[in-house]
Amino acid sequence: MADKPTRMLDYLSQASAWVTAGELADHLGVTTRSVRSYVTTVKAWAHPLVVVESGPAGYRLNREGLAEYRAVQGRVADADTPQDRLYRLVRMLTDSSGGLDVYDVAAQLFVSDSTVESDLTKVRSLLPGTDLQLERLGARVTLSGAEGDRRRLLSRMFREESSRGLQGLDAIQREFGTKDLPGFKTDMIAMLDARGYFVNEYGTENVLLHLAIAVDRASRPEAVVAQEPVAAASVGRSELVKPLAALVTSHFGVELAAVDLDYIAALLASRVITPGLGETATALAENYVDTADLDVVTRIVQRASEEYLVDLADDDFLVRLTMHVRNLINRAHEQSWSRNPLTKAIKTSYPMTYELAVFIASELQRQERIVINDDEIAYIAMHVGAHLEQQSRRRELVTCALVCPNYYDMHLLLRERIERELGDDLEIVTVLTRSDVDWDALDADLVLTTIDPRLHADGVIVIQPFLTEGDVDRVRQAASRVRRLRRRAQIKDELLQYFDEKLFVRNFYARDEVAMIRALGERMIGQGIIDARYVDGAIERELMSSTAFTDNLAVPHAMSMSANRTSIAIVVNDAPMDWGEDRVNVVALIAFSAAGRSTFQAVFDQFVEVFADRGDVQRLIKRSVDFASFIDELVHVMDQ
């Protein structure tokens, strides 16, 4: 987990307004005095630039100042924090073939000998799972082990630094002295595209990090190469080695060893590229997919479709997901997962899609006996979400009445333009070409009119006879608002059916996530809603991937819909409790029954959406003094 000042910056970066010291303290699990200390630390890091602004309303991020500081410094701190110092020590150990003198290191880092000894203990804690060892002879300490393990350690440490402010190609170039990395990336993508590959942009940075480390190590006077072969076979890997070698030589002026090039090609094949650009699902299945893999994925997806009542039966979707799953399995066996920068956003914005991905991932885990982390689950969610998005056109269109007094064929031209620009958003059901309009008689979600209406209601929009881009934007926003309100009105009635005063608790704290789930589960068991197996299923689901879908809300639940009826047991706490990597004020154990599957997706998404706005959540927490006030405030938030 990132250090507290950096977590504070992350929280401020998600806020659109001032954030009080109390809110920051709740989120970080510290006192307001500690928050002030963190602000002072960040200001010291960035001086003379202003990164965090202070005022009577609290604190807010100066985004321009932060961007300028990162552009100039390339990091949030310069070896002033323990984590930065630890990273520098690892770099020094991996770069040194003859070892380091502890006293020289202390002098170089401007710290005491005891501090370096403490940091060396932390370095040892990073080594389990590798063949690396710290060997000590008097004051000299040496990192021994395979070159491949050294590089993986460097990569892992750099990615941890990246989560604290070092991001993008510029950071990799600065750290490893690899010039022209953006130019290499451009030519590499062009090369992959010319060979008929889809390119996953989110995976390229990790590959380029490994490349930069390899180039840096090969450019040293005593060049070192990773000697171990790449274990997993990957589609297209062999054909990439030669063009990669040419690109590396032309951009960096070095020749990488064959094993290094093979490793980079394998990373590309397993993390970045998918063959078959422009090919049909049938051709992809014949050329790139193992029949056994496709059968496994098809069975799992069919179970997910039945469990969540969604249509995932599509050959193209199944084939491409299977190709992704094969690479995922290879990465899992090597414990070399692919980072996904959209994981948090997907969990927060598309919780039901993420749940589908969790179900698929859990089945894969059991089938293949592997571990799949949140980032890999999010990649599965991207596949599922893209497929479901293609089906979203089936949504009910917003109805529209068009008022355009007749003048030649102006109303026909206007209607044609509206249907061309906004046909995916609304359906014109009435066209009035008179100026004496009975506005009250119009029966449509929206009224578009070229004349001034008698009443200026929300659903009445004045447009120009010759539709402008501004008109199009306003109508599209109004249509979106109609759909949202229509959906909320329907779901609000459904959602409120699932709450019971006996399952509402105020300011109840448990030791950890498991204890909270068991405590709420016991209440539901007492009401005859679920049995102990459902509680065990909810704990199993929680251990697989945290159900903290927003910064304030955790929604534990089982993946099976085995409850006797759909219901929600909820805890609303003034102070947040730790939940995985997050801290939450609201915990809602949701029990879903098979009979309620048809409303599962809408209810789940709507419930998480309610808690996505920090301001709304804070008001709900403060005003929900009992069950009645909680319901009143929940309805108020949903009606906004």
Higher pLDDT, 88 or 292: 292
How many angstroms separate the CA atoms of 344 and 283, rounded? 35
How many angstroms separate the CA atoms of 106 and 123, rounded? 15
State the alpha helices, DSSP H only, in 309-394: 315-333, 343-349, 351-368, 374-391
In CATH, the number for domain 4-73 is 1.10.10.10
Q: Which CATH superfamily is domain 398-474 in?
A: Response regulator (3.40.50.2300)
Q: Which CATH superfamily is domain 281-393 in?
A: PRD domain (1.10.1790.10)
pLDDT at residue number 372: 93
| Contact of 215 with 176, CB cutoff 8 Å | yes
| Contact of 266 with 234, CB cutoff 8 Å | yes
Mean per-residue pLDDT of the chain: 84
450: number of Cβ within 10 Å: 19
Residue 67's nearest CA partner among 89, 46, 82, 53 is 46
pLDDT tens-digit readout, 16-52 = 789 898 888 888 888 888 898 888 888 887 778 888 9
pLDDT at residue number 430: 92
pLDDT tens-digit readout, 190-236 = 999 888 888 888 788 888 888 988 888 887 766 555 545 444 445 55
Residue 42's nearest CA partner among 31, 51, 55 is 51
pLDDT tens-digit readout, 283-335 = 888 888 889 999 999 999 999 998 888 888 888 899 989 989 988 998 888 77
Q: What is the DSSP string of 235-282?
A: TTHHHHHHHHHHHHHHHHS----HHHHHHHHHHIIIIIEEE-TT--HH
* Residue 299 structure tokens: 């069975």
Least confident of 55-69, 364-378, 486-500: 486-500
155: pLDDT strictly greater than 50: yes
Domain 82-166 in CATH 1.10.10.10? The answer is: yes
∠ CA 295-301-305, nearest 5°, is: 140
pLDDT tens-digit readout, 511-523 = 999 999 999 999 9
Domain 497-638 in CATH 1.10.260.40? The answer is: no
Per-residue exposure over 552-564, b if at least 16 CB sit within 10 Å of its own CB, e if not? bbbbbbbbbbebb
pLDDT at residue number 592: 86
